Structure 1
Amino acid sequence: MLSNERMLSVLDLFDLEQPEWTFDEIGARIECGRSTLYRHIKLLVDAGLLMTVTESVYRLGPRIIEFDHQIRATDPLIRAARPLMGEIVREEAGVSLLCRRYRDRVLCVHQEASTTHFSSNYERGRARPLLRGAASLAILMHFPSHQLAKLYDQMPEALEDAGLGSSLTELRANLRAMRQNGWVTTEGQVTPGVTGIAAPVFGRGDEISASLSLTIPETGLSDERREALGKRILFCARVVTSASQ
């Protein structure tokens, strides 16, 4: 691993389960000498990406919040989707989500909620598995063939457990069937007792970029209601695709 890669990998250690790390704990996970690790951490602290809690104890720093504000204000995808998402949840009790693919996961980058008391486990900033939930499947079903093959080689058991196929051929067939409607729906895969409906958002060159979804606190929807919501979300996703490019 290159020195800069090793320094940035320090940030990956911090999560909800362990938001604070000591110097020695970081050293046990990052393979480098103490003097090199000290320089890495000093650079991260000076940049505001880490902050010192007490001597030799660190947390993620305030610069990350500054970056987050900039993303909220300037990301063309969020700016295009925000008004549509607000309109959706004014008409439907639930939560509308805008999600991007992030490594082998899907990350919610914006959320709009109705005034009813309902929350989704797919909240902004929280990464979720690529294989479960409508917001994720709307992205996965548009993966290029070579990326699907690589994904299947990496996690065949997980794909089978998610009901997506026990072979690469079956996986491709199942995702092809999902693409036929243009939108996808699931029940209770991320949050129990809810239905998720999502459609893909594309970037330049028709590359899959994100998904727009609606989560409602209902299950067992009638075919007519499911179809109507699916077409509505698909229309909005297409508007976001056009407006954000």
Structure 2
Amino acid sequence: MNSLRRLLMVFDLFRPDQPVIDVETICQELGFTPATAYRYLRELGDAGFLKRLPRGYALGPRIVTLEHQMTKYDPLLACSRDLVDKLVDDTGLDALVSEWHGDSVVNVLIQRGSDAGPVGGDRGRPIDLLHSATSRVVLAYLLPRQIRRIYDVHAKPTEPQQQGLAWKPFSKSLLAIRKQGYCISESELHPGRSGVAAPIFDEKQRVLGSMTLVGRSERFRAFQPGYLCDLVTGAATELTARIALQ
């Protein structure tokens, strides 16, 4: 593992329950020596990525600067804003753009509609990989060995909330998603909430992420069958074409 990758692993330690880290945290969770932990904290602090607090280190102002740059100028976001706005205007549902990165699917753009309720994941937070249309439509386009590895890490079929997630039916469901080009979920992340998602691809036709419509299940059923699927797949196809031109 190269030194840059080891350095960046420090950011993985920041969580809602752990907003501040110190040398002991790095040594315990990453297995680094105290000398290495001190050096990484100093380098990240000098660059503005971390800031010193009495109890340790928190994320620094440089992170906010980069977040602003991404929000304003990231090609994926720039290409998708008008598509997301139209989806919301046409349906009143929430529209999401999510990106695949490092075995996680993360919402990078959320546009709320008039349909109040939980959106299915905050911006910047990884989404449940196995219980969301947003994620499963991405998994469906990964290589079989990638899918199996992710399943082995995240699936726990013996737990009550994950019963029915046996490997064979799960893998078959992903094949069906890939064949139809979209994924529908109902009451998986939140009771009474439904979603439909379609994949987004990069210029080499590798899956990049997904576009999703989310809302109350009653509102979903108010539309003609297939209408929402056509809307989201059409928007995702247009976004894929725009990305290829970047």
Using the size of structure 1 for normalisation, the TM-score is 0.87
Look up the equivalent residue of 2:51 and give its one-letter code. Answer: M
Aligned residue in 1 for 2:195:
196
Aligned to 2:167, the other structure's residue is in SS state coil
- How many Å separate the matches in 2 of 1:23 and 1:140? 36
* Cα distance change on mapping 1:159 and 1:45 into 2, 3 Å: farther
Aligned residue in 1 for 2:19:
19
Where does structure 1 lack aligned partners over 5 or more consecutive residues? Answer: none
* Cα distance change on mapping 1:123 and 1:20 into 2, 3 Å: same
Look up the equivalent residue of 1:215 and give its one-letter code. Answer: V
TM superposition shift of 1:6: 3.1
* Cα distance change on mapping 1:86 and 1:178 into 2, 3 Å: same
Instruction: Map Cα deviations across residues 130-177 of structure 1 (whole Å, 9 max, x no partner).
Output: 21111111111111233234434545645993745433xx44422121
Count matched residues: 242
Where does structure 2 lack aligned partners over 5 or more consecutive residues? Answer: none
Segment drifting more, 211-220 vs 129-138:
211-220
TM superposition shift of 1:35: 3.0
What's the Cα RMSD here? 2.5
Instruction: Map Cα deviations across residues 36-56 of structure 1 (whole Å, 9 max, x no partner).
Output: 3211101011111111122x5
Instruction: Map Cα deviations across residues 45-101 of structure 1 (whole Å, 9 max, x no partner).
Output: 1111111122x5111111111111222222222111111101111222221000111
Look up the equivalent residue of 1:57 and give its one-letter code. Answer: G
Aligned to 1:17, the other structure's residue is in SS state coil
- How many Å separate the matches in 2 of 1:32 and 1:144? 32
Aligned residue in 2 for 1:166:
167
Aligned to 1:205, the other structure's residue is in SS state coil
Aligned to 1:128, the other structure's residue is in SS state coil
- How many Å separate the matches in 2 of 1:179 and 1:141? 6
CA contact (8 A) 1:133 1:189 kept: yes
Look up the equivalent residue of 2:24 and give its one-letter code. Answer: D
TM superposition shift of 1:126: 1.1
TM superposition shift of 1:208: 0.8
- How many Å separate the matches in 2 of 1:200 and 1:159? 30
- How many Å separate the matches in 2 of 1:159 and 1:49? 41
Aligned to 1:196, the other structure's residue is in SS state strand
- How many Å separate the matches in 2 of 1:234 and 1:159? 34
Aligned residue in 1 for 2:96:
97
Aligned residue in 2 for 1:110:
109
Aligned residue in 2 for 1:77:
76
- How many Å separate the matches in 1 of 2:118 and 2:110? 10
- How many Å separate the matches in 2 of 1:58 and 1:5? 19
Aligned to 2:217, the other structure's residue is in SS state coil
Aligned residue in 1 for 2:31:
31
Instruction: Map Cα deviations across residues 8-52 of structure 1 (whole Å, 9 max, x no partner).
Output: 222211111111123333333343333332111010111111111
Look up the equivalent residue of 1:166 and give its one-letter code. Answer: W
* Cα distance change on mapping 1:165 and 1:231 into 2, 3 Å: farther
TM superposition shift of 1:222: 4.0
- Percent identity between the aligned chains? 28
Aligned residue in 1 for 2:47:
47
* Cα distance change on mapping 1:152 and 1:159 into 2, 3 Å: farther
Look up the equivalent residue of 1:20 and give its one-letter code. Answer: V
CA contact (8 A) 1:152 1:159 kept: no
CA contact (8 A) 1:159 1:166 kept: no
- How many Å separate the matches in 2 of 1:145 and 1:13? 29
- How many Å separate the matches in 2 of 1:158 and 1:50? 39
CA contact (8 A) 1:95 1:119 kept: no
Aligned residue in 1 for 2:58:
59
Aligned residue in 2 for 1:144:
143
Aligned to 2:32, the other structure's residue is in SS state coil
* Cα distance change on mapping 1:187 and 1:42 into 2, 3 Å: same
